[in-house]
Chains A and B, each alone.
Chain A
Amino acid sequence: MPATGMYELISANKRNSWLLVIVLCVILVAVAGAGGAYFGGNDPLPSMLVFGMIGFGVATIGGLASYFMGAEMIMAVSRAHPADEADQRQLHNVLEELCIASGLPKPKLYIIEDSAPNAFACGRDPQHSAVAVTRGLMDKLSRNELQGVLAHELSHIQNYDILFATMIGILVGSIALLCDMLLRSMRWGAIGGRRRSSNERSGGGQAQALLLVVALVLMILAPLFAQILQLAVSRQREYLADTSGAKMTRDPESLARALEKIAADPEPLEAANRGTQHLYIVNPLKGLSETQSWFATHPPLRERIARLRALT
């Protein structure tokens, strides 16, 4: 049985989530500190401390919020609304069947009113999880294909991929936001700041210039670094969720067909953005998913479909 492998995977996911939070906290504090150094002028230490503290506060609040309210936040960002039990009988039925198959509690079910077919899961553990599907997914897929897609999402929940993906989505988003803000305010402050620093003694000026360079490099690299982290970890998980989803339904062909249909659909998903793209079953920002690159959140679809077909 792959049970031990599964448990190792789950604990690795929990451990990685904590590591990630720490790394991203350090990045946030470093970026904030660098910003403080820039604005501090002559004596950068106090403002570095103040900015660093603010960065730490932002990281703590962001981390706690993404842990406790991550699913709700992501659903709100994705403009998803809860799926009505009576209106969406089939969707609820398919999900309940799979909960019996996997032994998981039933996640909250959301619908995104968009004709592009796609789906994702988020939350912190199986007891606090949510699955969203688009209107297009329900309209364009057969019952069995829908079952394949939902089984893929439930596998993400079972493996605790959602904890990691939810937290990284929100923290990467806040790092990008902070860096963006600092870089912008630097550009505005550059005129005034320059004048002041040209009057400094040469020694202090040199140290400050060095700090400035470090700050700039950090601010430019941090979002990039955070994003590469986000992407690398999510690629391998897709194969795994495909396989364990197929095991759940014992029907890999339906999931393969669903992936083909989703891939063939030309419409982009409007509610998806850079912070949430890695959550979806197929990358919703079209054009990215077909090539294997450092910046791909998902493995190439052709490869995923081939691996699924090899299971039959």
Chain B
Amino acid sequence: MSAMLILVIILVVLAVIVIGMYNGLVQLRNRVQNAWAQIDVQLKRRHDLIPNLVETVKGYMKYEQETLEKVIKARGAAMAAQGVAATAQAENQLTSTLKSLFALVENYPDLKANQNMLQLQEELTTTENRIAFARQHFNDSVMTYNTALQTFPRNIIAGMFGFTASEFFAAAEAEREPVKVQF
């Protein structure tokens, strides 16, 4: 009788431990998803700004059609990208095309002084910074989640319930250094 009781107690304790670990993993995974949503908001914001930018720039830049088309194409690719790694790559591509566009803007003093352009530039700078900071936060959450997932004994629970490691949002090569956005 008492052996039975001990067995029951052990089972209950085990169940409690498993439930605790499972819930912990769910919490961490939700945190990663939430952090991703934060990046997503900022990426969308940037996608929405680009048509405006192209419209403003077009009138001034007659001979830079190629650069503008690159920006539009990169935007399309970024919007179509699925999954963390692919999105990161497409977005980094978009960042670099935008950089070359803004480098060209330097040659057009009228455009640089345009009120609309100044506003767009500020909005894109802040979006760029927000993406960078949101990425830091996302990668931190991914790191915590993946570590929890891959260490013993949680890896057993993770395997049982199908938790999978999340991808990092990689920064472009040029951005590895201190995050500073200067168009």
Contact = CB atoms under 8 A, between A and B. Distances in A.
A144 interface: yes
Instruction: Tell me what chain A mostly uses at the interface: helix, strand, loop, or mixed.
Output: helix
A144 B180 contact: yes
The contact size tier of chain A is: 10 to 19
The 6 A-B residue pairs with the shortest CB-CB distance in the complex, in nearest-first order: A93-B126, A101-B133, A97-B129, A100-B133, A250-B178, A97-B130
A100 B134 contact: yes
Contacts of B137: 100-101, 103
Interface of B: 38, 119, 122-123, 125-126, 129-130, 133-134, 136-137, 178-180
Contacts of A103: 137
A251 interface: yes
Contacts of A94: 126
B179 A250 contact: yes
A90 interface: yes
A97 B179 contact: no
Contact of A100 (B122, B125, B130, B180): B130
Given A100-B134, A103-B137, A251 B178 contact: yes
A101 B179 CA distance: 12
26 contacts: A89-B119, A89-B122, A89-B123, A90-B122, A90-B126, A93-B122, A93-B123, A94-B126, A96-B126, A96-B130, A97-B129, A97-B130, A98-B133, A100-B38, A100-B130, A100-B133, A100-B137, A101-B133, A101-B137, A143-B125, A144-B180, A147-B129, A249-B179, A250-B178, A251-B179, A251-B180
B71 to A, nearest CB: 22
A308 to B, nearest CB: 13
A102 to B, nearest CB: 8
Given A250-B178, A250-B179, A97 B119 contact: no
